[in-house]
Structure 1
Amino acid sequence: MDQWNLLSNLSHCYDEYSGLSIGEHFMRQQISLPIKMRFKSTPVIEFIKILLNETQRLYKNNRDFLSLSTDDRSILLHTTIKHIGSLSSNFIYHKIQLFSYPSYYDAVGIVATPPAIAATKRIADRLDFDIIVMKLLLSILCFSTNQYTVYSNSRSVNLSNIKQILHIQSRYTELLWQYLVYKYNFQGAVKCFSNLIRCLFAVNDTIVKTEEVQWLTDKFDLLVQKTEQTLTIND
């Protein structure tokens, strides 16, 4: 019973369907336009930024995250938010079938590099998960302590309570596994879990490829600042 309560709480931490409703509204707007006017770079980039703003919910509404020290929360925000933002927003694109429109890639190609576009297409092929699986995966990523393969000038900082964070990781991962077995049986769970890992590799590749996309980097920096400010105010 405790685990199903945890599942319910994590599911409500980040109301993915609010992002989905935003995405569906965006698609209705675009499809109502003449074909040559659809998916221009300005509205597409604005849509991406709006979806990225939604990622704050996963941190701000998670009791376990709020229980961490201010320093540990800050470290995790800085090291995970790009992966959270990339995965959650691309999942919405998949759900609203945005990847099916070549003009979307044309629009993003104006403000991103060719390697970034290629990496995005690889993610698009690895997002066929149900909404609960994605929410649990996002919750796990919030507490990820891995140092991803993105090189920066930032100094590495140690977490003050790594045992607490690893315990949260373990609880969430066990919950994800039990949900997969419950829904897909053991063999299906193994296959789905393997696909999740492949998806994370694709997301990480995208993060590496988009490091030079300045508007996106600036957006993530601003998102970290705003989330930290909100958490500090609510303490």
Structure 2
Amino acid sequence: MKNHRRKHSEKTIENPTLISIGNSRIIMILSPIDRIRLNNIIHCYDQFSGEPSSSTYCPPSTVLCLRIDEFFNRKKPIFINFISYFKHLPELQTLNVDDQVSLIKQNIRLLIPLNYALLKTHINSKFRETPRIQTIGCINNVNLHEMFRSLSNSFVDFVTYDPVIVKLLVVILFFTANPLTTRSIYDPVQFKQLNNIKQIQSSYTELLWLYMLEKYGEQNAIILFTKMITKYLYLQIVIDGIDSIIRMNNDIDNIDSLMQSFLQLT
């Protein structure tokens, strides 16, 4: 007998009915404190991690060919605004200053694509226009701009679906003590308050889970979380490759000193 393989349609995320009408029930999972923390994250991100002013950023109207130092120096305002957001998180302020700096240096370059996904999805964003940029002088003529753009685009669907889950995911990943990159494996950071960092990360992970559980139900929450983490694991692999490309480039000494720190070049 022939074996017939049954085709299964891909499982999609569905929005459950959250507001009850009549005799139906509303399931409230988040506590009042959870909701306060959630609102703080949303408003803090919107306030401090916005787009740079028009005086410091302007999408190019023609193809812009940039050497690697020019490419990353243009990104400095984005990095600074993003870091400003994390500095305003009360949990980060409780940590030792050295640990704060280590978390920024270790994780900020990994999270930049997620930040771009959040920025470009807004209807009035200047980042909605795809800038035509070509990095020059990289090994094998690699275009780093396209690599970063592809990574950020992989999270746009999540932002479109619900930007809150991406904003929470960014915080969770920021408090990662040991990301899966070559640099972190061979040059691990020695945190002074490692247990505190893990506790902060766990608390935000729980907050994200409860938020998704309340809004989308358990099955959809599992699908969402699994897909986001899978995307991020792939992102780490790509960023690891980008790190290698950067370090083999002759123009890295011309990169702004602060950006060199963000890119873990110093």
Pairwise TM-score range, normalised by the shorter structure: 0.7 to 0.9
Corresponding residue for 1:128?
A: 157
Q: Within the alignment, does 1:137 sit opposite 2:169 as a pair?
A: yes
Q: After the TM superposition, which residues 1-235 of structure 1 pair with which residues of structure 2 at under 5 Å, given as runs?
A: 1-15=32-46, 19=50, 37-38=61-62, 40-41=64-65, 48-95=75-122, 96=125, 101=130, 104=132, 107-110=133-136, 114=142, 116=144, 117-118=146-147, 120-129=149-158, 130-151=162-183, 155-211=187-243, 212-213=245-246, 214=252, 220-222=259-261
Corresponding residue for 1:232?
A: none
Corresponding residue for 2:19?
A: none
Structure with max Cα Rg: 2
Question: What is the percent sequence identity of the aligned residues?
Answer: 23
Residue 153 of structure 1 and its aligned partner are, at CA, apart by 10
Residue 68 of structure 1 and its aligned partner are, at CA, apart by 0.5
CA contact under 8 A between 2:50 and 2:81: conserved in structure 1?
yes
User: TM-score of the superposition, structure 1-length normalised?
Assistant: 0.72
CA contact under 8 A between 2:73 and 2:256: conserved in structure 1?
no
Residues 153/160 of structure 1: CA separation in 2 closer, same or farther (3 Å cut): closer
Residues 175/218 of structure 1: CA separation in 2 closer, same or farther (3 Å cut): same
Please state whether the residue corresponding to 2:178 is helix, strand or coil: coil
For 1:165, the aligned partner's letter is I
Residue 160 of structure 1 and its aligned partner are, at CA, apart by 1.7
Cα deviations across residues 182-202 of structure 1 (Å, max 9, x unaligned)? 222222211211121122123
Residues 180/16 of structure 1: CA separation in 2 closer, same or farther (3 Å cut): farther
Residue 171 of structure 1 and its aligned partner are, at CA, apart by 0.7
Cα deviations across residues 17-40 of structure 1 (Å, max 9, x unaligned)? 8525869x967x65xxxxxx4353
The number of residue pairs the alignment matches comes to: 214
Kindly indicate which of the two structures has a greater share of residues assigned to helix: 1
Give the distance between the partners of 1:217 and 1:204, measured in 2 at CA. Answer: 23
Give the distance between the partners of 2:52 and 2:257, measured in 1 at CA. Answer: 25
Unaligned runs of 5+ in 1: 31-36, 226-235
